[in-house]
Structure 1
Amino acid sequence: MSPVTVITGDLFRLHDCRGHPETQERLVHACSGIPEGTSIVAPVMADREDLLRVHTPVYVDMIEDRSAALPEHRCQYLDPDTYITCHSFEIALWAAGAGIQSVRAARDGVTPFALIRPPGHHAGSSSHLGFCIFNTAAVAAASALRTLDRVAIVDWDVHHGNGTQEIFYFSDRVLYCSVHQEYIFPGTGRREERGAGPGEGYTLNAPLPAGSTLADYRTVILDQFLPAVLRFDPGLIIISAGQDCLSDDPLGNMALRPDDLGTLASFLAAPGIPLALLLEGGYGPSHPEAIAAIIHALEHA
């Protein structure tokens, strides 16, 4: 595998709300795990047209208008979990742009890991949810589909990526695979949710019980997801990399250790399909160790 390049920047601090789990502090904490010598580049900004490939114009306008109406240093909740500031529309554009930047880098032979925020996989075509405003993985996949026939998305965040599933539920050009803790937020991601219309069979959900270990994740990745990915033959795999599946994460109840995340990354790198990793969740003390393990595994795959 090629050396990993991290895409991140200090600008994400402008989307921040004191006391919330999803703040700049968690990104700084995650970035502290970047190994010394790793290449780090600044993100680029997406534009409105990039968002409109997966989000409705009414929804994009609503986020832009509500952000613009806020005074400096004030946050406003769009729902019980998701907030915006006066800078959030702009910052979400930077996050989405980093996703697009990642898939382009992957096509050019680089393995990118976009350490960005806010996360995105709960955002639907016209909805915010679970800290997410725009769906970065979906925006990145839609951009990649301008030049590729098929893209796979593998989501190992502890929470099901309901937004990503919804956006591509009727598509046969995106294979969405999610392994997540069952019976928790957002309440979606059952095995019988498999896509519809042309997209039937292109959504694979693997809900796992609380306390699941690497052995359980290994079975899902190696016996379910990778065979499906290889049959699908995508030009790119996007990983929605949420490290809240770690055993010490306050928002989940799984039993993965930091090195286990590196193992999952190595499984997905093994076929040699270009990879692009995008940060989703991850709120626990060992998050930096997991970031280091993922980067190490990818550089030695």
Structure 2
Amino acid sequence: SSAYLNNGSSELDTTDDEFTGANRLRGVNPASGVVVYYQLPELKKTDEISLEIKDAAGVVVHTYSSKAVEGQLRWDGAPRPDPLLPKAKGLNRFVWDMRYPTMTGVPNVRIEGGYAGHKAPPGKYNLTLKSGDQVLSTDIEILANPLYPTTPEIYSEYHRTMLSMETELTAMHRMINSLYEKQKQLESLLGSLPAGEKYNAVKKDGEALVKKMKAWDEDMVQRKSKAYDDVENFPNKFTANYLFLINQTESDIPRVNQPSLDRMKELNTTWSALKTRGTEMLEKDLPALNKRLWDAGVGAVWKN
């Protein structure tokens, strides 16, 4: 099975039992991704199936499931959740959009940008479908679009650059989310400390750490941005600028220009310093404060 790399779209990119494959007012394009058909017996509601996609080197590109992520948050501007694998009795159909995983967002923060991963480069890929103890595997190929002037070397550079930036943004947002949860718990814990000289020192240290965490968080993300036009009133912070670079580097005809590489180098230098600050709080400041809290007979900060 094979599919050409393209930038079109189609009603057939999703599976709808009521869609006949035709439109009264216009033509219907073929599905723009890799179409996967599979047959299933009748499954229990609690049964889960998964589809794992690997590249020719055996590296996982994307994984899909029939089960929705439990507790997944939704907010204005949130990343779109992955489509679920259908698991009806009989023939099922799923379309892989050829994209790498969606990047992680920051709950209740709207960033003007897209979180979708870039499209995989031309090459051979392996698809593995799992249902219980049954495993079925097949190979597919993404073909280079003959209308694009892109060479294999340019495809490779584009893929490396996009994957690197997407990986970094996800790491940034995960660190933001982890530290913010710890900050909220620490604030609650400090507010519940009883009055008395016994707790004065640890309370002072805790308040200093909260201040440090807030300063870092405010450098990383704009939490006042909740809706569409908020970006006009509140300045973007670091990760919004990084996401903007990712979106502007993504191209219908895959290629990376020099200004994007220059900007990536500049932002990665800034991120290195910000990451050092965040890591110091996670690996040094919080463990040290936790020890003092335990010594004072108070539970520690544990949020992931």
TM class by shorter chain equals under 0.3
Structure of higher CA gyration radius:
2
Alignment TM-score, normalising by the size of structure 1: 0.26
Higher RCO (CA 8 Å, separation ≥ 6 residues): 1
